[in-house]
Amino acid sequence: MKFIRFQGVAPILGAASKLGIFQLAYQLKYSPEISCHDDRELRQNLDWLEAHLCAPKILDKSEHYRAICWFKDSAHEPLKRIWALKYLLKEYGIWVDRIKSEKPGLIIYQDGWQVVAKPLRSQIRG
């Protein structure tokens, strides 16, 4: 199985990873620059994702601060919505990379559509 992550391109000082697509989408959602049409599309996709994806509580634990969320490649409907967010963000100059991995790290949570993994030492950027 492959795992897929969508993340921004800019490193964040002091952060364990780059901003994920949800963080980027919420920044755009509250931006005064977003048009009404794009705001509706953004909200429609975010609302669907919020209603159908579990927000893993394990991420609230301080010992998992390096943990990263990945989609399973079989999560077709959520990924369709994520791709819509990616294209919308691109229209506003926010580039989102798609990362694929068969080994996202030590998996500490999973459900039908996603996993949360702690990167292995060799995967942590310096």
Q: How much is the pLDDT for 122?
A: 65
pLDDT tens for 85-119 read 999 999 999 999 999 999 999 999 999 999 999 98
- Cα(14)–Cα(92) distance, integer angstroms: 26
Whole-number Cα distances in Å, 31 to 10, 50, 59, 89, 92: 19, 20, 26, 12, 10
pLDDT tens for 40-76 read 999 999 999 999 999 888 888 888 888 999 999 999 9
Ordered alpha helix ranges (H), 21-111:
21-29, 36-52, 76-91
pLDDT tens for 10-50 read 776 666 678 899 999 999 999 999 999 999 999 999 999 99
